[in-house]
Each structure stands twice: as structure tokens, then as C-alpha cells.
Amino acid sequence: MTRAPAFTLVETLAVVTLLALAAVLLTPLVAGGTRASAVDATLRGFLDLDARARLAAQGGSGARLHRSGESWVLMLSESGIASWQGRAAVEIEVHDSTGASIGEIAYSAAGRSSDFVVTARLYGVVRSARVAGLTGWTEVGP
């Protein structure tokens, strides 16, 4: 009687162990990529709200972005027309050119504001953008 070629139990366990080791080593890389994309999306969302505030301000007597808890609200006169909140667990900080924290950004009727820096942070992944208040030009950094 001849036996059909097959893998032994030891060979099968060796392959399973190698696959488990590969999964353990690659999981943090995949999670890090997910964190970076969440931070990037949050930063893009805030910069989009800034651009909308500049456009809205040009149509009237100005506008302002006001921090309300974890959300930022676009205000025209006294009524909020748009509200934005970043992704869960992503921390957003807004600072002026001196490094002081900002809770509100005011826009003139020409759509201009003071210069500011936006920083998004999640578990060691940090992205920031400098915004020139005069033109709205944005420079995104690492």
C-alpha cells in the first residue's frame, strides 16, 4: 500500500506559526496608515471649513469660525450656518503665529483673517497646516 504525499503535522504547524508571525508584524503598519488617513481627512475638513468661511464672509459683513466644545461652527451674524466636527479621537488645535491657542477666527468682509496654524493629532501621528490670513494660502507640513 502506498501513501499519498501530504504535509505532516509539524510542517503544517510551522506554516501556521509563520503566518501568525507575519500578521503580528504587519498589523501595526496597517493601523498606522489608518491613523494617518484619519488625521489627514480631519485636517482637510477643517481647511475646507476655513475656505467656506472666507467665501461666506465676502458675501456679507464678515464671518467667524467659533469653537464650541469639540466642534467648530461657521457663524454669519448670530446664526450658525455650518457646523463641523473632526473624526473621533483626532485632536484639533488652532494657534496664532505666536503659538497662543485660538478659540475663534474672525473674517473681514473681504474674506481675510489673521494667520493661524492648524494641527491635527492622533496617537503620535501629527499633521499641521499654516494658513495665511490675507490670502487663505495653505501650506501643509508633516
Per-residue pLDDT of the chain (142 residues; tens, 9 = 90+): 677 787 788 888 888 898 888 888 877 666 666 778 888 888 888 888 888 888 888 877 778 888 877 777 777 755 556 666 666 678 888 998 888 998 889 988 888 899 999 998 888 888 999 999 888 888 887 6
Spatial distance between the Cα atoms of 92 and 94, rounded to a whole number of angstroms: 7
Superfamily (CATH H level) for 10-141:
minor pseudopilin epsh domain (3.55.40.10)
The domain segmentation of the chain, as residue ranges, is 10-141
- pTM here is 0.70
What pLDDT is attached to residue 32?
60
Q: Which of 116, 137, 136, 114 is nearest to 128 (CA)?
A: 116
Q: Which of 23, 76, 84, 21 is nearest to 54 (CA)?
A: 76
What pLDDT is attached to residue 117?
92
Other CB atoms within a 10 A radius of the CB of residue 119 amount to 17
